Amino acid sequence: MIKKLKLFFKEMFFIFNVKKSVKIGLYGPPNGGKTTLANKICEDWIGEEMGVASSVPHETREVKIKESVVIKSRGRELKFNLVDTPGISTKIDYEDFLSHKLDVKEAKQRAKEATKGVIDAIKWLDNMDCVLVVLDSTKNPYSQVNITIIGNLAARDIPVLIVANKIDLKRSDIKKIEAAFPQYPVIGISATKGNNIEDFYEEVFKLVKRR
């Protein structure tokens, strides 16, 4: 009986909360594919891109919000505000940008903006209702940045879905990500090619329901 009541209130809470506009954040280290995923979601459901994605690290240097994104799956609808955040890192050296054909002035400016972007991304953690942690599945998941992000979300009791991106690449290893974070759901996708994107949307519904 208590279980049924609990479930009933949870369902009601879910319905009312969804109407209040849920904030779903995209977090992760640089070059994991956060903006590519944000663009994929926006292209699929709004028909427009959210931001510029590139192979140059720290392309996204400020928090961007796309309001009222509505996704549909199995006859259900979910409305949320999508928040794309700058990649979090512990070091930024302007010289790293020089190899990406930026001149010294541009590289220094990008580094300056990138440091501010990291600070903003961390500040925004408190504003999130749910978070998609976007990781490059070809890279070692045991980085301290990944652990710090997920640890902070756990400390704030924010539901997390780990998105193992770039599964279309040969070196992709979802199992390693699952082994690194066994207490969290992991979904493998390719944001660029759209692989497994339907299952991803289904997981987003489950994520919002967990809050």
Q: Where do contacts with other proteins occur on this chain (CB under 8 A)? A: 88-93, 111, 115-116, 118-119, 122-123, 125, 140, 142-145, 147-148, 150-152, 154-155, 179-180, 182
**Residue 179: CB minimum distance to other proteins, A:** 8
Name which of 48 and 93 has its Cβ closer to other proteins: 93
CA torsion, points 89, 199, 84, 148, in degrees to nearest 10?
A: -30
Gyration radius of the chain over CA positions = 17
Nearer to other proteins, 53 or 149 (CB): 149
Q: Closest separation between CB of residue 89 and other proteins, Å? A: 7
Closer CB to other proteins, 103 or 151, in the complex: 151
Query: Measured from the CB of residue 156, what is the shortest distance to other proteins in angstroms?
Result: 9
N-to-C CA span, the chain? 22
Query: Sign of dihedral through CA atoms 142, 30, 56, 68?
Result: positive
Nearest residue to 149 (alpha-carbon basis) of 49, 10, 47, 28: 28
Shortest spacing between CB 33 and other proteins, in angstroms: 21
Residue 184 · residue 153 · CB < 8 Å: no
**39 vs 146 by CB, closer to other proteins:** 146
Residues 21-45 as b or e (16 or more Cβ within 10 Å = b):
ebbbbbbbbbbbbbbbbbbbbbeeb
- Least distance CB 58 / other proteins (angstroms): 11
* CB 29 within 8 Å of CB 89: yes
* Nearest residue (CB) to other proteins, 66 versus 139: 139
Q: Nearer Cβ to other proteins, position 9 or 142?
A: 142
Q: What's the CA gap between 182 and 29, in Å, rounded?
A: 19
CB of 173 to other proteins, least distance (A): 13
